[in-house]
Each structure stands twice: as C-alpha cells, then as structure tokens.
Structure 1
Amino acid sequence: MSLCGDFARNLGQETEGLSRVHLRLLATSDLHANLLPYNYYTDSRDDGVGLLRVAGLIAAARAEAPNCLVLDNGDTLQGAPLGDVAVADMLPCGAPHPMIDAMNAIGYDAATLGNHDFDYGLEALEASLAGARFPVVLANAVRRDDGTSFLPPSILLTRLLSDRRGQLHEVRIGITGSVPPQVAAWNRTILGNRLEFTDTVSGVAREAAALRGRGADLVIALVHGGLGDGGDTGDLAEGAENTAQAIAGLADVDAVVAGHTHEVHPTTFDCRPATDRTPIVQPGFWGSHLGIIDIAIESEEPQRRGTARRWSIAKSRTEAVPTSGDNAERASALRPVLRANPRLRRKLAGQHRATRRFTGREIGACRVPLNTYFSFVAPCAATQVVSDAQIAAARSTLAQDPILSGLPLLSAVAPFRCGGQNGPHHYTDIPAGALQLRHAADLYVYPNFLAILRTRGRDLRCWLERSASLYRQIDPDDASPQLLVDHAFAGYNFDRIDGLLYDIDVSRPARTNASGDQLFETDGRIRNLRYGDGRPVQPDDQVLVVTNSYRAAGGGHFRICEASETVVTDANPVRDHLVRYIREANAALSPRPSPTFRLCGFGRAEVVVETGPGALGHTERARELGLVHRGSGEGGFERFALMA
C-alpha cells in the first residue's frame, strides 16, 4: 500500500539539462511523552498512541522515497507519566530522556520546541536536549541576561538528493521553528524572567530571509502553533498564538509544519501546483498521525561552470496519515527496526518498567469512583477532589495573612481527560479503592503551579462565560435531538468555580468561540450568580480564587484572569498538593461534588450529550443526572439524552 500515491510517478518528463527531485518531509507533533503504545493512567496497552507507532509509518514512508527528512514540531517531553519519570528519576542520574533517545534511534533530522517542553524548567529542558543527535531550533526565544538565542534560531542542512535517474544533487534546506510567545506568561513561575519570547511571524520571517541569504534552496518552518485564521500577516496582533497560516504566507517559507492545537490538517489529500499557497501539515497529537509533505523540486543545468543550481518547487502534496485503522499494518513496520536495534529494545523495556513502578506507588484510597464522563452535565467527584486539595493548600498558605484570609475563597477546577478532540477513550475513570500515583497524574495531567487570584464579583461572571462557551446553542423550540457539547472546545478550559452557585442558559449564544480568541457581543449565559450560601454576588465584591499558574496567566484565553491580581504563586505544582492531600487524609476520601452549576434553557429540545463508551459502566450516575442512553454516535462516542 503506497503512502505517496501517484506523486513520485508523476513528476513529469525530464528533459536535457532539467532535473526533478522528490523530497519527502515526515513530521510529528505534540507527542507529549507518549513513547510506547501504553496508557500509564489505566496501566494498560493503548495502540492509539506512541512515537513507536509513528516510527513504523516513518520506516514505511522512507522505504518508498529515497529523499526524506524527519522533523518534530515540539511538545515532545511532557504530557504523559513517562515525562514525569524522566525528569524525576532518569535525567538526575545522567540517563538520556527516553523520547530523545528514541528520536535519535529513528533518525530525526531536526526539531523545534513546544510550550509544554518548558514546563519542567530550563535545567531539565537543557539536560533533555543535551542528548539529541539532531539540531533543535527556535527563532523566537532569547536569554534576557545576554541577549543570545536560547537555541540556534535556524539550521542549514546540506543533503545529497537523488533525482529520477539516480544522479545526486546537493540541496540546501533551511529549517527554523517557533513557539507561542505566551509561554513566557504560562510558565513564568518556573522560568522567571530568564527568557524573552518574541512574535512568531516576525521571528520566522527574519530567520527565513537569513537562510535564503546563506544559500537555502528551501526553507521549512516548524511552527508550534495552530493554523490561525489565515489572514494576512498584517492582520495579526503582535504575539498571536496560532500563526501557521500566516507564516505559510511569508515569501521565503516553502513548507510549514503546524501543531499545538492537536488538530489534523489536511483531512484529505492536498495536492497543489507550485503557484498555490505553501503546503501545511498538522499531524494530530500523541502519535495519532504522521504528517507528510511531498515536494517536487526542479532545476536546470547552470549555464556557467561552477555556478550553483537554483531549485524551484514544481508541486507539492500534503497528507496526515493516521497510525490506526487501515494503517496498522504500516505502523507494524517498526518491528524490524527494533529487531535491528537490540540496545534500544532493552532501554525501552527498562524505561517502561521504571515508569510503571513510579506510577504504581500507593498514596491513599477513595470510597467512590472518580470519573469525568459526565463532568459537562454536572459537577463530578473527580474535579471535587482537586478542588478540595486546592482549597486546603490555599488556606494553609493564607493563614498568616489576616487581610487575604478574611476574603471569600473559591476554587476553579476543570476536567483534564474528558474526551473532545482527544477522542472517546480520553476520560478519567478511577474505580473506588486504592489510589496510586498514576491516579493523581490522571486527575491532574499538567505540572502547573498553584496560584491564587484576587478578583471582583463582576469578573467572576466573565470567567464563567468563557467556560460556558463549551456548550452549543440549543434551540428550545426545536424538539429534535440537539448536541450539547462542542468537541472543538478544550475540556481543560471548562472551569467550574467551587464555592459559587449559578445557572448556565444554553439557549443563549456563547460569549466566545471554542478557542476563545474571538469575543461576541451577547447577553451571556450565566444566570443567578450567587455564593454557596445563596447570597448574590455583587459586582464590587472582592474574592480570592485558587487556580493554577496557566490560568492565572490568561491561558486558554481567559483574559479576565490575566487582568486580575495574582496574590500568591506557590512553588509547588498543583499535583504535588493533590498527592499530599490524599496521603494526609485520615481516612479514605469520599468527595461530595458541590452543586456549583445547573444547565437550563432546554425548552422542548431533546438535548444529547456525547461521552466515552466507559460511561456505560456508570449507569447509576447517569440515572441520577437524568441521562438516558440513546446509542452510539460518531467517532466512537456514546450518546445520552438529558431529560430536563
């Protein structure tokens, strides 16, 4: 089964003095420390994730095309328990980061960084990158102390590429990369002011022009950012987060690898002539896809001896190939690679055992199951445990401050593993009984730090309006089934604020789009906002909200959080506080979800909630919430009707 279709066979006729070369770019992004096809949260095999699954596709793609570059677009080192173990146990002992080790063995040619690669701090990041046998580039990060680039801003690779007649040609390929500048705010707690992150578009434009000046025949931009709106670069605000399409419009850029938003682009073959826009590929997340850009370049024999050839792009073809489904056989091409590299096999086995031992440490117990299948319908015990831990940590921190400790203390929590774009099996589902360290990582995936904001009553409403954009608008006069949840909305942005009571009227239009980068003039969805004791929240009330460092910096486009005063930034991650809370409990936990929010505005509509198939194992909870199973939906989700 061919990965390149007819592209390589249809490069066109070569004439005297004209050479055509097929160059294939293979790209990964947002692997998030998923190396093996294994889910450490559930301690079970998962064939839907893992760099090693993609490595099989890489091997198959290389076998079809003699001229390949393998590239990674960042968010590689953090996101799964393997990343936590690497930082806690492996790097301090001088061992290489498992992801970097595997990328060396696979033979990556270059990479850039994502925002989450900075989550463990500069020392851990630099220790991880020290083992890389491929260049890692970044155009928009400089050290504040001396103004030097944190990493090389670009690299010029010289490759001997063969044409259709087998003749070799020297082609110079420039590669640069960028990361969202918001990482400076999102990770300020651990990075401090040691790095400055500048605008991605101007940074890539500068490096692309410099690469051309150094003789680059092609320039590839590894953009750790989503596609964006596709407008002209002049339409983008300085420091925009998702700029891949804008960067593709730069004159000196020939191909773009996008990432960050966990989307897949294109969803079908995208073959275009050279006169069309620059090809872009976005290869999903966790090893779900391999991005492929096939480029046909051509060059005429120079008229003067000693003059370098000038290459131009004749056409390109872009594809994001899934590692599941029909491509499982291709992914299995990794087996001969591992057989040929027994050292890597042994190291992978040892790293896997170390991760299972680390995540299997027992920390406590819980009397009730903790799951997120219905977190968008009503508050759940899974997020309540996190909220209780945050409140306990905040009270301890504030105890010595009489002014702050006298203000109302609220807690903002969100489900992290809750389906959406990550698929129907991406849910927390912890049974009642013993709690292990992997369960704490399941409940709180990211190494965010505890933060406490001082804000006003009117700001709480704005905060909650952003969260309420999770829901599709429901027509209360339409009795036909209507889907409630917008899967394009990242579930980790659905904050509920424990300590408040409020209604969410889903018949009203949302205040923001799913990503939060567009604001709409509407009356909003939040109704009847009051404290837990029933008192109305007044606009000028001062309150404290315990949250995390990402949200405090405005992460997720929560502008009101960024504008609020951060009165405390704790030196410990929220997950550490959660583990401590579980360990120090006098008995097994029995969290009781606070009422917090109630959905309304359904009218005559049959509102349909899509959730993971694991929800079928929690029928009692579904009945409590008034949910009736309506069968399977698209993409592997199960559908429940919400009987209001």
Structure 2
Amino acid sequence: MTLPRQIVTAQGTAAGSNVHLRVLATTDLHAHLLPYDYITDKRANGIGLAHLAEIIVAARKASPNVLLVDNGDTLQGAPLADAAVAEIVPSGRLHPMIAAMNALGFDVATLGNHDFDFGLPHLVASLDGAEFPVVSANARCTNGTICLPRRCLLERHVVDAAGQGHVLQIGVTGAMPPQVALWNKPHLQGQMVFDDIVSTVATEVSALRDEGADIVLVLAHSGYGALDSAPRAENVALQVAQLPGVDAVVAGHTHKVRPEHLMSGCPDPNSAAPSAAPMVQPGAFGSHLGCIDLVLERIEQTGSDRANDGPRWRVCQTQAVSFATTQRRSLGAVPLRRMLSGFPKLRLDMAREHNATRSYVARPLGNSAVALETFFSILAPCAATQLVADAQRGAAEPLIAARPELADLPVLSAVAPFRAGGRSGPLNYSDVPAGPLKLRHAADLYLYPNRLSVLRITGQGIRDWLERSASIYRQIDPGADGPQQLIDPEFAPYNFDRITGLHYQIDISKPPRTNADGDEVYDTPARICDLRLIDGRPLSPEDEVIVVTNSYRAAGGGHMRAAAAAREVFVTSFSVRDAVARYISDATRAVDPVIEPTFSLRPLGGVDVIYETGKGALRHPKRLAALGLTAMDAENPEGFYPFCLTL
C-alpha cells in the first residue's frame, strides 16, 4: 500500500552512520478493536485498532527501525470491554485488546486512568497475557496486589543509513494523572497511591540515563496542559517534554489530536536551555496513529555520566505528526485477521468475541414510549438524562430510607449527557428511538462503569457545583450585533451536570466561573439565579440536601470541587448503568420520563445565539420547534449543524 506522505517524509534523511528511528503510537483506544460501534450495532469506519493494522505493517516495511507503543486507556470503553468483564467468553482467553496487541507486536505500553475502572483483579488478569512490558512510574501499590515496573530498557538492533547494524538502548517510562486515585476510589482506596507526573518522570528519566539508555521515550497518559501547571496537575505533557533527558513524548487522556500537520525540529546540542522533545497525541479509539521520527547521530563519549563508556547517540533531527485513519481507504478488520493467519485459534476467538459482544448488548430490557436523544441536552433538560436521573434516584432511595438521619433531607439527582458532541465529534450523540430498549441502549445512555454514589452537601455546595457546569456556555454580550456562539467547544459535555429536584436559571451574560479545564477564572458575579427546590422553596447556602450521582463525580471528577468537598454517605457495589438497566427492566410499562424543567437560560432581551449540534437533530422537528431553534447554514467544517436561538 502507499503510506500517507507524513509517515514517509523522514525516509532518507538519515545519512552515513545516522540511524532513523520511527516511533508509532496509539492512545486511548478504549477497547475499540474492530471498526464497529456496538452501541448502534453498525459498522464504524475510521476507528478501531484493526483500522491501524495495515498502516502499522506498511510503516514497518518502509523503515527498518520501528517502535510500536500504546499510551493507555486501552482496556475500558467499548462494550467489548464490558463483555470481557462479564465473562461471556470462556475464562483463560487473553483480553481481546491484549491478544491483538501481541499479534501486532507492540513493544511497550503504559496504563491510563480508565484501565482501573473494572478493579485491580481484572487489570492484573488482563495484563498477565501481555507479551510486552507495561510501565507506570507514578503508580505505587500499598498491598502488593499489582506491581508494575516504573521503567524499562528495550535493547533493539537497528540499522543505520549505510546498512550497518547497531544496538540501541531505548529507555521507556510512563505515567498517568494522579487523580485516578480519586476517580477510582472504590477500587483503589487503600491499595494504590499515585504520585505527581512531572517529578516522578524526571526521576525515572535520570535513572534510565544512568542505566545506559541511549534515548528516552515517555508515555504520558496526560493532556498537553500548560508549562506553568501546578504540582499534581492532570495534564502536564508539555512540562514532561521540557524535562532534560527526554527525547520523545506520547501524550493522551484528553482525546485531542496533536499535531495534525508535520512538525520538524533540530535540537541544538550547544544550547544551555533544554529544547522541548517532539510530541504526538493521536486522538482516541484508533482514529489516528501518532508518528515520531528521530534521526540519531552517533557520538563518542567517555565519562562517569554513562553506565558503560563508549558510543552514544544523540537526536539531531525530529518530525512528529498524528494522522487520521480516514485518510486511508476503509480497511475493516481484514488486515488484522491477515496478520493472525498463523494463529487460527486466536483469529477464531476474535470472531467469537465480536459476535458474543453483539449478542451481549442485544439483551432486551424493556421499552421506551419516547425517543431518548441528547442533541439538545446542553440547551435544555431532555428525556435521556431524565431517565438516568430517575434510575439513579430510584436505586438510591431505598438505601437512603434506611438512614433515619437523612429522612428530612431533599433527594436530588445529578446527571450529565455522556454522548453530546464536543471533542468526540458530531456523531457522538445518543439517539435511541421510541420502542424496544436493549442493553446497548443502557450503555448508550451511560457509558462508564462508575458506581452509584450518594453525597450530603450544602446549598452553597450545590450552587458551586452548578456554576462549574454552567461554565460550558460562553459569555454572551446582549448588546452585540449578530449571533454569538453559545457553547465553549473545549468544555467536555460530560461535565455539564443538571441536578434534578431543583429549578434554576443560568445568566450567560455573566462570565463563566471556570474555564474548560476547571481553573477558576471568575468568582463573581454568579450565573446561577433563582435557585429553588422543586417545590418552590429557595435553597439557601446553609441548607443540606442529598445528591445521588456517580463515583467519578463524587470524587471531584471533571474538576467538580464542590462534589469532592461534600460528605460521602455511601457508594454502592453496583454501577449507574446497572441501575439504568434495572430501572428499565423493572418497569411494568414502557418508560416515559417526565422531563423536569430543571434549568433554563435567562432571557437577554432578544439576542441571537448559535447552538451547534449533530445532524441527527433534524430528525426531531417537534423538539426543534419547542425549543425555538431555527436551522442556519449547512454543517460547519467539523460536521456540526448550527441552529439559531433568540434569548
């Protein structure tokens, strides 16, 4: 096949005794093995590890020196992972993702925060079948349940531009956001602790150099962040790239794509200031493949700074790019199957696991009297999030009733739309038609295996919680001419909570409390207005209420500090998705959520705003009319459709 231009550009740049080393990287695969969407039960071109297989094979043929790495969040996400946890296939088989990575010849990997979502026993069992090292520098166990190497040295035989062979010592370390200890508190409390990424990686890089590493690669399951990020920050890949001794970085976690265009560099060996190492962040779900090309020149060095005096290598030229698999023809699963032609049992297992997953998520639950869609969920309450809120509350109320001290407290339910566009694109919306509901529809409405959690919180805490959520809206100037964009595209929709059991307005003429990353940028004036309980009583700052939510949010996930500061009442042993599935299956008739008018945008005297959503919104004309939305031009370059709303 013909490779994308970006991946062959570096061919021929290494001269003489120089070595061209190519690093190919995946990140945030989230159990997307095949180009298939089990939630919609349809083929999904442009995603899946299988989509990358042919490109990986061709890249290896184009360059004799290739390192293939994965940057974590691999074992959780798609229903394939849920099926593996549910043990719908016979025990003893490799995790489908691990089996595929073995077949493709991955050299090394690290873990992401979501790899802990199913608990340590499942993680240990999954990694046990890996034929490649898995490193994690900042994860420390307290009871010996899981012990991962903090770093590793890969000895690789490489060929220089003149055809001469050499032995290269490649040091690799990895790290993930330390916040995983909170996000997965039910699984990790008392068992694991997580250190600061930057300081830990710096220590491991120094150790790798002392152990003889010729070059050092960091697998940072962390977004780019800022150069001045505080200690223990979640997204710090830019800081990692600035560390002395780091030659290349793979970033991840935030599902962004960087760089989308080829970036080149030539480090200055005479500069006293360290230059940033080349870095890629190849999207998510197998949508992109990261490629870092390093040209290494051989130098002679003696001295005490190397474990064994002798030849050493220095990076003299770099190129980095993340390119989309959609730039290639539709590949499907065939290349991966071809690679596994020598392993017929494994290939058969993959086919069985795919079919078993489809059967698993096709299990009937019940029926819905209405469509459950999220196209307008950032603009107004919807039936999809109302169903989840009702299910959460229904599952929690018997447990709350068993606590007499909670009897007089109002019970609220906090929910967010998990599939509502954002960085995941214009196809990332829930759109379940009225009619039969299956397990895949419950997974559609609630993607993650978070447990049901119950908090006790003050009225002030609720207000702060809602201010964070309301920061998804841009500040609107009532006096401006022409329509203004309503939504901050960098704000993840799954961090936009509505809290049922309340009524409130949002004044978007006021500045947002936080930015998309949760940093507080304004403290006054407030956007949340006329905050009341559903019975009309004002909610004062000192009042106490009960909030039913999920374990991720209860731990402050999504930078929801008010939730983290609340008092935890209990965490259940079952997931929110289980609660949703049970709520549907226990219903004696088709579920028909009564949408609470939880929030609304405060009128601003006739100013026009632009609300962008998926094309599927056009399938709901009654909803468009009820919300006062008017279609504007055709879809924008990202594929979202703009609608005009007058406030």
TM bucket, shorter chain: over 0.9
Q: CA deviation at 1:600?
A: 2.2
Q: CA deviation at 1:521?
A: 3.3
Map 1:78-93 onto structure 2 (within 5 A). Answer: 78-89=76-87, 93=91
Amino acid at match of 2:119: G
Q: Do the aligned partners of 1:31 and 1:51 also contact (CA within 8 Å) in 2?
A: yes
What is the rounded CA distance, in whole Å, between the counterparts of 1:493 and 1:380 in structure 2? 16
- 1:620 and 2:622 equivalent? yes
Equivalenced residue count is: 633
1:282 is matched with which residue? 281
What is the rounded CA distance, in whole Å, between the counterparts of 1:127 and 1:332 in structure 2? 28
Q: 1:254 to 1:60 in 2, by over 3 A?
A: same
- 1:9 and 2:8 equivalent? no
Q: CA deviation at 1:5?
A: 4.3
Q: Which residue, 454, 457, 461 being the options, matches 1:455?
A: 457
Q: 1:518 to 1:63 in 2, by over 3 A?
A: farther
Paired residue secondary structure (1:221)? strand
Map 1:156-195 onto structure 2 (within 5 A). Answer: 156-195=153-192
- 1:642 and 2:645 equivalent? yes
Q: CA deviation at 1:388?
A: 0.3
Amino acid at match of 2:479: D
Q: TM-score, normalised by structure 1?
A: 0.95
Q: Which residue, 231, 235, 238 being the options, matches 1:238?
A: 231
2:636 is matched with which residue? 633
2:255 is matched with which residue? 262
- 1:106 and 2:104 equivalent? yes
Identity %: 51
What is the rounded CA distance, in whole Å, between the counterparts of 2:332 and 2:596 in structure 1? 48
Q: Do the aligned partners of 2:454 and 2:546 also contact (CA within 8 Å) in 1?
A: yes
Indicate the larger mover: 311-320 or 53-62. 53-62
Map 1:48-67 onto structure 2 (within 5 A). Answer: 48-67=46-65
Q: Deviations over 1:115-144 (max 9, x none)?
A: 000000000000100110000001111121
Indicate the larger mover: 252-261 or 598-607. 598-607
Q: Do the aligned partners of 2:260 and 2:321 also contact (CA within 8 Å) in 1?
A: yes
Indicate the larger mover: 148-157 or 458-467. 148-157
1:43 is matched with which residue? 41
Map 1:401-440 onto structure 2 (within 5 A). Answer: 401-440=403-442
Q: CA deviation at 1:483?
A: 1.6
Amino acid at match of 1:255: A
Q: 1:7 to 1:603 in 2, by over 3 A?
A: farther
Q: Do the aligned partners of 2:606 and 2:646 also contact (CA within 8 Å) in 1?
A: no
- 1:317 and 2:319 equivalent? yes
What is the rounded CA distance, in whole Å, between the counterparts of 1:24 and 1:267 in structure 2? 17
What is the rounded CA distance, in whole Å, between the counterparts of 1:456 and 1:374 in structure 2? 29
Q: 1:389 to 1:124 in 2, by over 3 A?
A: same
What is the rounded CA distance, in whole Å, between the counterparts of 2:20 and 2:638 in structure 1? 35
1:217 is matched with which residue? 214
What is the rounded CA distance, in whole Å, between the counterparts of 2:316 and 2:332 in structure 1? 29
Q: CA deviation at 1:7?
A: 2.0
- 1:200 and 2:203 equivalent? no
Paired residue secondary structure (1:311)? strand
Q: Do the aligned partners of 2:50 and 2:335 also contact (CA within 8 Å) in 1?
A: no
Q: CA deviation at 1:9?
A: 2.0
CA-atom RMSD, angstroms? 1.9
Q: Deviations over 1:8-44 (max 9, x none)?
A: 2233x43xxxx20000000000011111101111100
Paired residue secondary structure (1:180)? coil
2:122 is matched with which residue? 124
What is the rounded CA distance, in whole Å, between the counterparts of 1:186 and 1:303 in structure 2? 47
Amino acid at match of 2:646: M
Q: Do the aligned partners of 2:13 and 2:295 also contact (CA within 8 Å) in 1?
A: no
Q: 1:6 to 1:393 in 2, by over 3 A?
A: closer
Q: CA deviation at 1:303?
A: 9.3
Q: CA deviation at 1:312?
A: 0.5
2:271 is matched with which residue? none
Q: 1:330 to 1:364 in 2, by over 3 A?
A: closer
What is the rounded CA distance, in whole Å, between the counterparts of 1:332 and 1:165 in structure 2? 36
What is the rounded CA distance, in whole Å, between the counterparts of 2:28 and 2:389 in structure 1? 28
Q: CA deviation at 1:601?
A: 4.6
Q: CA deviation at 1:519?
A: 3.4
What is the rounded CA distance, in whole Å, between the counterparts of 1:300 and 1:521 in structure 2? 55
What is the rounded CA distance, in whole Å, between the counterparts of 2:527 and 2:457 in structure 1? 20
What is the rounded CA distance, in whole Å, between the counterparts of 1:414 and 1:426 in structure 2? 14
Amino acid at match of 1:537: L
Q: Deviations over 1:489-533 (max 9, x none)?
A: 111100000011111111111110012134323312111111112
Q: Do the aligned partners of 1:372 and 1:417 also contact (CA within 8 Å) in 2?
A: yes
Q: Do the aligned partners of 1:259 and 1:282 also contact (CA within 8 Å) in 2?
A: yes
Q: Do the aligned partners of 2:413 and 2:549 also contact (CA within 8 Å) in 1?
A: yes
Amino acid at match of 1:167: Q
> What residue ranges of structure 1 are gaps of 5+ in the alignment?
none
Q: Deviations over 1:215-251 (max 9, x none)?
A: 00011110111111123xxxx4332111111111111
What is the rounded CA distance, in whole Å, between the counterparts of 1:238 and 1:22 in structure 2? 35
Amino acid at match of 2:161: R
2:544 is matched with which residue? 542
Paired residue secondary structure (1:89)? coil
Paired residue secondary structure (2:18)? strand
1:134 is matched with which residue? 132
Q: Do the aligned partners of 1:20 and 1:164 also contact (CA within 8 Å) in 2?
A: yes
Q: 1:551 to 1:332 in 2, by over 3 A?
A: same
What is the rounded CA distance, in whole Å, between the counterparts of 2:349 and 2:503 in structure 1? 51
1:501 is matched with which residue? 503
Q: CA deviation at 1:402?
A: 1.6
